Amino acid sequence: MKPPVNAAADVDPELIASTTRRLKLTIAYDGTPWRGWQSLPGGRTVQDELNAAFEKVSGRALRVQGSGRTDAGVHAFGQVAHADIPSSARLTDEAWSIALNACLPPSIRVLQAESVPDTFHARFDAIGKTYRYRIWRPRIFTPFENHRAWHLYGPLDEAALARCAELLIGTHNFGRLSANRGDQSEVQRRLDPASTTRTLRSVEIRDLGDVLEIEVEGEGFLYKMVRLIVGTLIHIARGRETTDWLRDLLTNPEGLQSNQAAPAEGLYLVAVQYPEPVVK
Amino acid sequence: MKPPVNAAADVDPELIASTTRRLKLTIAYDGTPWRGWQSLPGGRTVQDELNAAFEKVSGRALRVQGSGRTDAGVHAFGQVAHADIPSSARLTDEAWSIALNACLPPSIRVLQAESVPDTFHARFDAIGKTYRYRIWRPRIFTPFENHRAWHLYGPLDEAALARCAELLIGTHNFGRLSANRGDQSEVQRRLDPASTTRTLRSVEIRDLGDVLEIEVEGEGFLYKMVRLIVGTLIHIARGRETTDWLRDLLTNPEGLQSNQAAPAEGLYLVAVQYPEPVVK
C-alpha cells in the first residue's frame, strides 16, 4: 500500500524540504555478483538494489547518493550513502535498516542508518577514504578467498614494497596512476594537473601470513587509482621494474600511465571519513 | 587424446594392480554451489567434479573414494580421498595436484596429492575426524559470511554451552543425535545400539568475538550428528531446553531424536585423521 501522494508541486520549497528526512547509510557488500556501485541501464548494480529496496519500503521512488563509485567486483565494508525519505514514514532509524535489509539480497547489507541534517552529502562532504587490497600468497588459492582476493604466488621483494609505500605518501600528481573514465579526452585530463593531484595520508603493507594487505588512506582517489597503485607496487616487488619507475610515475606527468592494474576482486572500500560526527 | 587402452580384462589381478598407483588427496571446497560430496545422478557434487577432473587428466574414467560424505552446502578445509591412477601417467604427485586443479572449478581445490601404498583406504583407514561449526553472532549478517556461517543473533548461555560440551565428551549412544540416512528402517537402526555408539575426543567452544566456533573431534560420526549436536546445544544455550534434555538424549535411547539440526552452511570438515603418516 502506497502512502498518500504528497501534492508538493505548488508548495513553498521550504515546506517540501520539511516533508523529507535525510538518512546516512553505512553499507557493506560482496561485489562479486554486481556490476559495480553506480546505477546502470539493466540494473544489477548495488545502487539499483538500494533504490529498489527504498521504493519497496517507502512506496515511492527514491535515489540513493553514494560517496563515490566502486567498479564491478569491488567489495565494501563501509560504503556510505544518503537518501531522503518521506517524513510521513514513521520508522525509527534502526527500523529503516531492518526494513531495507529485509528487501535487499544477502550480499548487500545496511550496517547502520542514521538521521542527519539535510545539508549532509555523502559525496561532497567526504574528506577521506580508506581502501584495503587483499592478496592471497600460498601456491593454492583457497576456495574461501575466490573472488575476494588476488591470488599471487611467488617471491615478492618486501623491502621494495616498503620503499614504494614511503614514496607514495603525501601529495602527488596521480595522473599516471589513474585511468580516464571516458567522460573526457586524455588531453583534457592532462591540461589541468590540479584535477589529478591527490594526497595519500597513509600506505600500510601488512604481512598476515597467507594474506598480504595493502591499505591506503587519502583525501580522495581518482578512477582506478588504488588498483593501479597496487598493481604497480606488485610489479616492482616482483622485480620486473625498479622503484625508479614509481618515482617517475609520480614526478614526471609527461610519461605513459602505468599499465599494471590489480584485479577488482581484491579491493575493498573500508570506510569513508566525514568532518565531524554527523547526527541530527 | 586417450592413452592406449589397458587390455587388462584377461590379465592376472596382480599385474592389474601393478599398473596403477594410489594417490591420497587432501581437498578443500566451498560447499555452497554443490549438492554435497557424494556422486549423484545429474552430477553437481564434489565427487563428480573430482571424477571428471581425473578423467580429463588421465584420459580414463576413475572413481575417487572419499573419507565419507558431506551434505549439500557443507564445506571442507581438509576432506581426504584416494584414487588409483594409471602408472603409465608419468606425473609427479605435485604435477597431479596442479593438473587436477586446472580442471576443477575454483570452489574445489586439491591442496595435496601424495603417493600412498595400495592398501591405504580413505574411508576404512580413517581413525578420526574434526568438524568445525561457525556461528555469526552480530545483529547484521555480514555479506562475507553468507552461506559460510549460521546467523544467530541474541543472547546465548555460554555456561550452559560449556556444561553441554562436558556432557558430550566420551563414548555415548548418539542414536538420538543422528538421523537415519533412509537406507534402513528406524527400528532396524535401533536394534543394534553398537551401530549408533561413537566416541567424541573433544568438544571446544570458542568465542572469537563476531564468530562463535564449536569444534568437535571424534572417532567417527553418524549421519547429521554434528549438525544435531550443534543445533541441540544452541537450543539449550537459548534457554529453550535445559542441559537435562541433552543428558536424556545421551543416556535414554528410547526417546525421540533431537529435532534441532543446525543449518548445513555453518559446517566445515576440518581434517581426517589416519593411524600414521601414509607415505609410499
Domains and CATH numbers, chain B: 13-125 (3.30.70.580), 130-270 (3.30.70.660)
Q: Which residues of A touch B111 (CB under 8 A)?
A: 140
Helix and strand tally (H, E) in chain A? 7, 10
Q: Which residues of B touch A110 (CB under 8 A)?
A: 140
Q: How many CB atoms lie within 10 A of CB A239?
A: 11
**CB within 8 Å: A28 and B101:** no
List b or e across B143-158, with b for residues whose CB sees 16 or more CB atoms inside 10 angstroms.
Answer: bbbbbbbbbbeeebee
Question: Closest Cα to residue B82, out of B108, B49, B50, B48?
Answer: B50
**CB within 8 Å: B148 and A144:** yes
| pLDDT tens per residue across span B186-213 | 666 666 777 899 999 999 999 999 999 9
Mean pLDDT over the full length of chain A: 91
H or E element in which residue A236 lies: helix A225-237
A219-228: average pLDDT: 96
B99-111: average pLDDT: 98
Chain A nearest C-alpha distance from B196 (Å):
33
Residue among A140, A141, A145, A147 with most chain B CBs within 10 A, to mutate: A140
How far is B21 from B241, CA to CA, in rounded Å?
A: 53
More confident residue, A113 or B187: A113
**CB within 8 Å: B148 and A148:** no
**A149-153, A183-187, A233-237: the lowest-pLDDT one:** A183-187
The pLDDT value given to residue A193: 74
pLDDT-derived band at B87, boundaries 50, 70, 90: confident
Residue among A111, A136, A142, A151 with most chain B CBs within 10 A, to mutate: A142
Q: Is the pLDDT of residue A17 over 60?
A: no
| pLDDT tens per residue across span A249-267 | 999 988 899 999 999 999 9
**CB within 8 Å: B140 and A101:** yes
Residue among A144, A265, A269 with most chain B CBs within 10 A, to mutate: A144
The pLDDT value given to residue A254: 86
pLDDT-derived band at B19, boundaries 50, 70, 90: confident
Q: Which residues of A touch B28 (CB under 8 A)?
A: 142-144
Q: Annotated catalytic, B71?
A: yes
C-alpha cell at A251: 614526478
B73-98: average pLDDT: 93
**CB within 8 Å: A143 and B108:** yes
B233-262: average pLDDT: 96
Nearest-by-Cβ selection for A143 from B106, B140, B141: B106
The pLDDT value given to residue A10: 52
The pLDDT value given to residue A238: 98
The pLDDT value given to residue A18: 57
Question: Closest Cα to residue A237, out of A169, A160, A164?
Answer: A160
Nearest-by-Cβ selection for A109 from B108, B142, B148: B142
The pLDDT value given to residue A277: 64
